Structure 1
Amino acid sequence: MREDGHEAATIAQAQARQQLGERASALKQAIHLAFADVQLENGTGLHEAQGLDDYADAQTCAAYRAKDEKTDWRRISMDDMNLCSSSLSFFNAAGMRFHLPAFMQGDLDSQVNYDLIYHLTQSISMEEKFALLDDAQRAVVVAYLNLRLDDEDFRHEWEHIFNALLGYWNE
């Protein structure tokens, strides 16, 4: 295999994976800094949004909201995010700002069963959902998308990521 050049290709792939891992670690720190003090405030909560998806009545949604994390997105469990993955479609701007760092963190840790890339690149309500992000938070999202643009595992998403980076996230 060495004579066919496979060793060099394998080494290059391993180095690229290592670089992506290092960038992901740095990005996780940037996420923590950019979203450090964000609270839910009047945002739609994780379970509350799941209730909206399930067409629950106002009383049920209020009960779900009562159990939602409201002050520290780092305390949201991966189990809850995976269970309520459709909530990404039902967050208002404050809810998205609060939950987005947890969803990005979970994705970077490869512990998710949701499609965050879709919500960052193809959602018809991007302007509304991301309206409250400040410049530092938007920069973190752009860094996240650029990381995925450099990852072969996300090749099927590259066109959407590229278009979003040139479009909405470039504004």
Structure 2
Amino acid sequence: MREWLIRFIECAFARVKLNDGTTLYEAAFHSSYGIDSHELSLADTAERTDWRRVPVDHLFARTDAIFFMNPAAKKFYSPAILRALLKEGIRDGLMYDAFLFDLSGLIRGSKGEDTSFAKLYNAAQRAAFVRFCKFAAFNAPKEFGREQPLRILEQLRQLEPPVE
């Protein structure tokens, strides 16, 4: 089931590129309030075309970066994070918790000019989030917990279907 879900995520996000999105390293620089200038130097060579090539250890080392990403970056790094969690586990839990907290906020918090979850992700990508949360809650609750994934599933159910 885990390998199937990884393949589903890879297919759903296959052509997603970073484009004008904030790199992981730029976001990490901002999360450090501009103290760690080394992160900016890493941004110059950051992966921008294939999220599967983002180093997993870099994701786990920059757990707060998700809070400083623009919508294009969230779309690019979300599948990398989901895939890393499925392949590597939650490690210390910080990235998993930060990712789910941010995802929950994105789902319910879009206002005005904000990019909504439903507009940012296409149907297959939204389905990947649903499948990940179901997997976490029902197939691997000891690893991922049940409460947060079930809460996100409920928030997703309450979304109005977007016009595509």
TM-score band w.r.t. shorter chain: 0.7 to 0.9
Q: Would the aligned equivalents of 1:27 and 1:144 in 2 still touch at CA under 8 Å?
A: yes
Larger-Rg structure: 1
Q: Does 1:165 align with 2:156?
A: yes
Displacement of 1:149 in angstroms is: 2.3
Q: 1:61 to 1:169 in 2, by over 3 A?
A: farther
Displacement of 1:62 in angstroms is: 5.1
Displacement of 1:28 in angstroms is: 0.5
Q: What is the aligned partner in structure 2 of residue 41 from structure 1?
A: 19
Alpha-carbon distance in 1 for matches of 2:68, 2:116: 9
Q: What is the aligned partner in structure 2 of residue 128 from structure 1?
A: 115
Q: What is the aligned partner in structure 1 of residue 126 from structure 2?
A: 138
Alpha-carbon distance in 2 for matches of 1:51, 1:129: 25
Alpha-carbon distance in 2 for matches of 1:141, 1:159: 12
TM-score, L = length of structure 2: 0.76
Query: Which of these residues, 52, 61, 68, is aligned with residue 74 of structure 1?
Result: 52
Alpha-carbon distance in 2 for matches of 1:170, 1:104: 23
Two-structure CA RMSD over aligned residues (Å): 2.6
TM-score, L = length of structure 1: 0.73
The equivalences for 1:35-114 within 5 A come to 35-56=13-34, 63-109=41-87, 110=89, 112=91, 113=93, 114=95
Moved over 6 A (4+): none
CA-to-partner distance for each residue in 1:74-108, whole Å, 9 max, x for gaps?
11111100111111111111001111110000111
Question: How many residues matched?
Answer: 148
